[in-house]
Amino acid sequence: MSRSETFSYRAGGADCHGYLSVPEGDASCPGVLVAPAFGGLGPLERGTCDRLAALGYVALGVDYYSGGRHTTDRAEAAQWMAALQDDRPLLADRMTGALAALAGLDRAAGQKLGAMGYCFGGKAVLDLARSGAVFAAGVTLHGVYDAPPSGSMAMKAALLICDGWDDSLCPPAVKVALAAELSEHCPDWQMLSFGHTGHAFTNPKAAPNKGFGYSEAAEARSWRALTGFFEEMLA
């Protein structure tokens, strides 16, 4: 069982309205940020927060756009994403602000912290790690991998990259480039690529298309990998 609520915090100079889900009881627990896909914090990510809370984590859904913005209109989401894509320091600030908000919660006090993200949220988790932020573990699910123009600092977090091999947004050459970056900057990383799988494989509403589409098998496998990784790294 878990309890959930809208949770407001400041990050990157703006008011952000996230989603907080916590296990029942009063005991302190490890914390996990959940960074959404490019539409902003929506039902899928809120559901993930609830699933993590049921496993014993304090889970905070991240509002990296600020103002609680969420849309199902792909064109609008693309505009919002492009604005943050063009301001990678702001994206990192929004993530470090969310991490600080999570660390400041009584239920997460003194506990290890993790972060996970879908699609553009995967890039947000990578940029959090690239900033040198102190957290224990990060996971990307069909993330986007290009590094910011400023490059990467030495990373503190261990990283798990869950990826569709046929993802048209991140073809093999892009995966190899990320592996090279992580080998240089990340002390502990692993990449799990699912064959015959494209982008958005965790989203049941993602219609199959070339390089895109939901995969029930990849969703289940990535969740097992993610929960096992957090169990190892956040204990």
List of residues 6+ apart from 90 with CB closer than 8 A: 12, 84
Q: What is the mean pLDDT of residues 154-161?
A: 98
pLDDT tier at 15, thresholds 50, 70, 90: very high
AA identity, residue 226: L
* pLDDT digits 0-9 by tens, 40-88: 999 999 999 999 999 999 999 999 999 999 999 999 999 999 999 999 9
Say which residue the tokens 């090279």 belong to.
180
Question: How many other CB atoms are there within 10 angstroms of residue 224's CB atom?
Answer: 10
* Residue 227 belongs to domain spanning: 2-233
Which among 145, 88, 151, 92 has a CA at the least distance from the CA of 122?
145
Contact 98, 51 (CB under 8 A): no
> What is the residue-averaged pLDDT of the chain?
97
Which among 125, 140, 144 has a CA at the least distance from the CA of 202?
140
Maximum Cα–Cα distance for the chain, whole Å? 47
Separation of alpha carbons 228 and 192, rounded Å: 13
Task: Please report, for the domain that includes residue 197, its CATH number.
Answer: 3.40.50.1820
* Pair of tokens at residue 200: 């958005």
Q: Got the DSSP string for 149-210?
A: TT--PPP-SEEEEEEETT-TTS-HHHHHHHHHHHHHH-SSEEEEEETT--BTTT-TT---BT
CB crowding 18-49: b at 16 or more within 10 Å, else e: bbbbbbeeeeebbbbbbbbbbbbbeebbbebb
Percentage of residues in the chain with pLDDT exceeding 70? 100
* Pair of tokens at residue 16: 């952000």
Domain count, the chain: 1
The sign of the dihedral angle between the CA atoms of 181, 59, 54, 216 is negative
The pLDDT of residue 209 is 87
* pLDDT digits 0-9 by tens, 180-227: 999 999 999 999 999 999 999 999 999 888 899 999 999 999 999 999
Query: What's the pTM?
Result: 0.97
CB neighbour class for 169 (10 Å; exposed up to 12, middle 13-18, buried from 19): middle
